[in-house]
Structure 1
Amino acid sequence: MEAAIDRIMMTYDLLLNRTAAASADARAKVTAYINTLIEAGEKDTHRLTVCGLTYLRQLDGTNDPVKAGYTGL
């Protein structure tokens, strides 16, 4: 689990320039989320990493095409 969380945070920190406090907050949230996935039976480290990154992107809104500036035109 720790390897997946470290990989998630390393990749996420490359995507966004955030403060140390924001990074610590994101780590706490993704750790709780990954624990939920593990309790549900997920064991694949790569899948946990992808799910964790998707979760963080949904939290900060970068996964929303409208917020990213896409209007569909």
Structure 2
Amino acid sequence: MQRAVERVIQTYGLLTSREAAEQAQVKVESYIRTLFEAGETDDNRLTVCGLVYLRELDGSNDPVKAGFTGL
């Protein structure tokens, strides 16, 4: 589980800034711990889920914020 958290923070730091990644570490640790306790043990899946979670929190996955209007 800890390896997945480290990979998420490292990758998210490349996508945003290192400071933003460090600030998000507590949130992603809690989220990944929840997934792990629910039975997910694959480090790769935990990493991807953690990245998706952080991208949703910062609004990066929102098509409206990204400028998509559907036209």
Structure 2 regions of 5+ residues with no counterpart?
A: none
In the alignment, the residues of structure 2 paired with residue 17 and residue 68 of structure 1 have an alpha-carbon distance, to the nearest angstrom, of: 19
What is the correspondence of 1:11-50 to structure 2 with a 5 Å cutoff?
11-17=11-17, 20=19, 22-50=20-48
Alignment partner of 2:52 out of 37, 51, 54: 54
Structure 1 regions of 5+ residues with no counterpart?
A: none
4+ residue runs over 4 A deviation: none
Over the aligned positions, Cα root-mean-square deviation in angstroms equals: 1.1
Query: TM-score of the superposition, structure 1-length normalised?
Result: 0.89
Percent identity of equivalent pairs: 62
Aligned length: 71
